[in-house]
Amino acid sequence: MNEIINIIIAIFIFVGAFLSLVAAFGVIRLPDVYTRNHAASKAATLGVMSVLFGAFLYFYLVEGHFNSRLLLGIVFIFMTSPVAGHLISRAAYNTGVKLWDKSVHDDLKTKVKSKDI
Amino acid sequence: MRSNNNIILETTMKVVLFIIVLFSVYIFFAGHYYPGGGFIGGLMTSGAIVLLLIAYDIKTVATILPVNYRTMTGIGLLFAIGTSAGSLLFNVPFLTHAFGHIEVPILGDISLHTATLFDLGVYLVVVGVTMTIIQTIGEDE
């Protein structure tokens, strides 16, 4: 029983660390602000949530201590991190940061021109 | 009022604000036995108010929370000096604190300490000073 718990906790923490690493590679490798933001806000959110859940499981199942602050942190990051990504992208678009050369579709451009937002 | 289309920020802020204020109150009361206390509790409360200021503007926040932060700083200092000087009435040195278990009707046996009142003073001073600094820098009139 205890070994199974340890393996589950290790899987959660390794998946979280791996997703954070993927987010870091995405920020380095991707071409423009919007794709970088896409990588950073999605992969890092899930990665951090996974690490926090692994830590919560460790303290609850191994140490016998129910730490509600970790659960609150998971909910908090799940709510705020995508909003932060949205606001950064919006600020970048409104200050006129160009899209990648090879992107073909920009719905927001026509909306901004027609003053619809 | 700003005319920006900020509905995502405002809606998220309305939910997240309560979590932050709740956590700051928890940190304030947990300060005696766990990491926490008046200083980071006050900083986190002013962080919640700063989040309100990011989503709305100064005039709207002043209608939501009609608090004069300079008066709040003064009240906090009064709490601190009052808790410290109150020990002189019982013929003990300045800043001596009292501690005891008290039976309360609903909550049962709780341990109360006058250091909490001193911490409440720290909390009010930190919130007052932080919000005064931010509002003074923020307004451009």
Task: Let me know: does A57 contact A5? Beta carbons within 8 Å.
Answer: yes
Q: Phi and psi of A114, rounded to 5°?
A: -90, 10
* Best B2, B11, B16, B24 residue to mutate vs chain A (most A CBs within 10 Å): B16
Average pLDDT over chain B reads 89
* pLDDT number for residue B1: 43
The verdict on a CB contact (< 8 Å) between A83 and B12 is yes
Interface confidence, given as ipTM, is 0.80
- Separation CA B18–CA A76 (nearest Å): 11
DSSP string of A25-39?
A: HHHHHSSSHHHHHHH
Q: Which residues contact B82 (CB under 8 A, 6 or more apart)?
A: B117
Question: Of A69, A76, A87, which is closest to B16 when you measure between CB atoms?
Answer: A76
- Separation CA B96–CA B84 (nearest Å): 7
Q: What is the pLDDT of residues B82-109, one digit of tens each?
A: 998 988 888 888 888 888 787 888 877 8
Measured between CA atoms, the residue of chain A closest to residue B3 is A117
- Nearest Cα of chain A lies from the Cα of B93 at a distance, in angstroms, of 39
Q: What is the pLDDT of residues A4-42, one digit of tens each?
A: 999 999 999 999 999 999 999 999 999 999 999 999 999
Q: How far is CA A87 from the centre of its chain?
A: 14
Helix axes B115-138, B69-86, angle to 10 degrees: 160
Average pLDDT for residues B40-49, to the nearest whole number? 95
**Residue B106, helix vs strand vs coil:** coil
Question: Of A69, A76, A87, which is closest to B9 when you measure between CB atoms?
Answer: A87
Q: Would you kindly state where each structural domain of chain B is located, as residue ranges?
A: 6-139
* Of A76, A75, A80, A57, the residue nearest A6 (C-alpha): A57
**Residue A71, helix vs strand vs coil:** helix
Strands (E) located in chain B? 99-104, 108-113
Q: What is the pLDDT of residues A58-98, one digit of tens each?
A: 999 988 999 999 999 999 999 999 999 999 998 998 888 88
Cα dihedral sign for B25, B29, B32, B35?
negative
State yes or no: pLDDT of A1 exceeds 80: no
pTM for the full predicted model: 0.84
The verdict on a CB contact (< 8 Å) between A80 and B16 is yes
**Cβ burial A49-75 (10 Å sphere, 16+ → b, else e):** bbbbbbbbbbebbeeeeeeeebeebbe
